[in-house]
């Protein structure tokens, strides 16, 4: 399984650089033919970024879970696009984290990723 991500301000990219696993940034025209976890950010008032929405429209077949960066100053809209992605694609939310994440967020993400991998192997 691979980790793919979308970033705008660099928060998500800083998060993935802390991960002890390989992650790749999405790009226009990328086609994914293997299972992946997607990490993105929330834009506006809890909206999915257009780049993430377009990518997932053509690459949702192998989407396993999502993790989303947000800002807790937005209260109930914190990382809200995770809820929308989860609902649209019927996948679990692996993690909601603030900005570029804390060490505890990295641990939580990796724990969730390992659990997903272990469940898939059974």
For residue range 63-99, what is the model confidence (pLDDT) as tens digits?
999 999 999 989 999 999 999 999 999 999 999 999 9
Nearest to 95 by CA among 121, 70, 66, 72: 66
What's the CA gap between 101 and 12, in Å, rounded?
8
Strand partners, 69: 41, 97
Segment 7-11 shows an average pLDDT of: 93
Q: What are 20-50's pLDDT values in tens digits?
A: 998 999 999 999 999 999 999 999 888 999 9
pLDDT at 10: 92
Q: Do the Cβ atoms of 13 and 7 come closer than 8 Å?
A: yes
> pTM score, two decimals?
0.94
Q: Do the Cβ atoms of 67 and 105 come closer than 8 Å?
A: no
Domains of the chain plus CATH, in order, are 2-115 (3.40.50.360)
Residue 40 burial (CB count, 10 A): 27
Nearest to 58 by CA among 87, 89, 97, 92: 89
**If residue 64 lies in a helix (H) or strand (E), which one and from where to where?**
strand 63-70
What's the CA gap between 59 and 46, in Å, rounded?
22
């Amino acid at each position: 399984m691979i980790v793919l991500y979308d970033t705008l301000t660099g928060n998500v990219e800083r998060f993935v650089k802390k991960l002890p696993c390989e992650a790749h940034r999405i790009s226009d025209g990328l086609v994914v033919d293997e299972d992946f976890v997607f990490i993105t950010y929330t834009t506006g008032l809890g909206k999915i970024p257009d780049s993430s929405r377009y990518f997932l429209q053509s690459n949702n077949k192998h989407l396993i879970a999502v993790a989303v960066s947000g800002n807790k100053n937005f209260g109930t809209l914190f990382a809200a696009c995770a809820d929308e992605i989860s609902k649209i694609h019927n996948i679990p939310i692996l993690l909601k984290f603030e900005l570029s994440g804390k060490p505890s967020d990295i641990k939580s993400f990796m724990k969730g990723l390992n659990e997903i991998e272990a469940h898939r192997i059974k």
